[in-house]
Amino acid sequence: MGHLITVATCSLNQWALDFQGNLQRIIESIKKAKLAGSKLRVGPELEICGYGCLDHFLEDDTILHSWECLSEIIEHPDSQDILLDVGMPVKHKLLIRPKLSLANDGNYYEMRYFTPWKGVRVVEEHYLPRSITKIMGQKTAPIGDALISTLDSALGCETCEELFTPQAPHIAMGLDGCEIYTNSSGSHHELRKLNTRVELIVSATLKSGGIYLYANQQGCDGDRLYYDGCALIVANGTVLAQGSQFSLNDVEVITATIDLEEVRSYREHKSRAMQTRDQPKYERIEVEMSLSSEVDEIDLLLHPSPSRPVVYNTPEEEIAYGPACYLFDYLRRS
């Protein structure tokens, strides 16, 4: 089995409650990820229904239509042979990974609509709606804080706010052997906030090693905020791919090819091994698929993506681009 993997993350201009339009943009991002040879695609937080649904999160129809869209994603031919990280609200397809830490300050009031998951490494069974059971032939799916194990790696999820917390989930996940972290975010634009995001993601993989895929909403999805996109792929403290911060495109996908052996060799130091020894274990959800190619299928032209410098706008450029992009999206939705 090979050890080069190609992964994809994206920024999508999703609209609150525009289920059909959101679905089309999700499918388009999956197509672009597969065309680039990716076996893993990560999308923004709550991408199926949109982040800014406000009190519509309290309506059962929002959840029902989200499940209906997920059914269409599962059945779509472009969704086969690729691992998908998709965000939507659920009440209590592989693993439903709930958010542990909710954003509830400043512009965020997630605890008005949601309840944080009750504990680290806690996993239960979630009874699936009939539309999913009909397609998948399974009545339940695990919900909780777990890792996904493929045939060649291990994947863990953290969501938006969790990256900013003192005890971010990626720390414990990395010590339990997780090599790939995904983050589905709905992070709005603030002056110089991108610098903080990049520093946190780079720091996460610089200390623990691993691959970090950051996806973000972009545009104005119907609320007061503007989301500035800028998807990122970082490995072992090095930025490999960066999306644009202010974009008028509805779908933007970035990819990178990474050598898993570089992650494993990066982690070979004694202090980490001793902390790993004492680390409580996560439940593993087994997946019968590989992110890398079989040895006899290896593309000799495939090579790891080189590092690249991070592109930052000046404060003056952010002040110019941010309001202009917000007003453009607001006009389209009026």
Write down the pLDDT at residue 298: 63
Write down the pLDDT at residue 108: 86
Write down the pLDDT at residue 269: 73
How large is the angle between the packed helices 60-75 and 19-35, nearest 10 degrees? 30
Residue 59 and residue 114: Cα distance in Å, rounded? 12
Write down the pLDDT at residue 93: 65
CB 181 within 8 A of CB 204: yes
Write down the pLDDT at residue 286: 95
Q: Given its phi and psi angles, is residue 15 left (phi above 0), alpha (psi -120 to 50 degrees) or beta?
A: beta
Burial class (CB in 10 A: 0-12, 13-18, 19+), 53: buried
Helix (H, G, I), strand (E, B) or coil at 306: coil
The domain total for the chain is: 1
Residue ranges making up the domain that contains 209: 4-332
Cβ count within 10 A of residue 229: 27
**168 alpha carbon, distance to own chain's centre:** 15
Helix (H, G, I), strand (E, B) or coil at 55: helix
DSSP calls for 205-259: HHHH--EEEEEEEEE--SSS--EE---EEEETTEEEEE--SS---SEEEEEEEEE
Beta-ladder partners of 84: 41
The answer for residues whose C-beta is within 8 angstroms of residue 236's C-beta and 6 or more apart is 205, 206, 209, 210, 262, 263, 266
Write down the pLDDT at residue 295: 63
Residue 141 and residue 67: Cα distance in Å, rounded? 13
Write down the pLDDT at residue 78: 97
Phi and psi, residue 232, nearest 5°: -140, 145
Handedness of CA 147, 185, 243, 9 (dihedral sign): positive
The rounded average pLDDT for each run of 10 residues, N- to C-terminus, in the chain (334 residues) is 90 96 98 97 97 93 96 97 96 80 86 86 93 93 96 95 94 96 96 96 94 97 89 98 96 97 88 83 95 72 93 97 93 82
Residue type, 252: E
Residue 28 and residue 35: Cα distance in Å, rounded? 11
Write down the pLDDT at residue 106: 82
Phi and psi, residue 8, nearest 5°: -140, 145
Q: Which of 283, 231, 264 is nearest to 38 (CA)?
A: 231
Give the CATH number for residue 223: 3.60.110.10
Tell me the C-alpha to C-alpha distance, in Å, between residue 97 and each of 87, 138, 151, 176, 178: 9, 18, 20, 17, 15
Write down the pLDDT at residue 16: 95
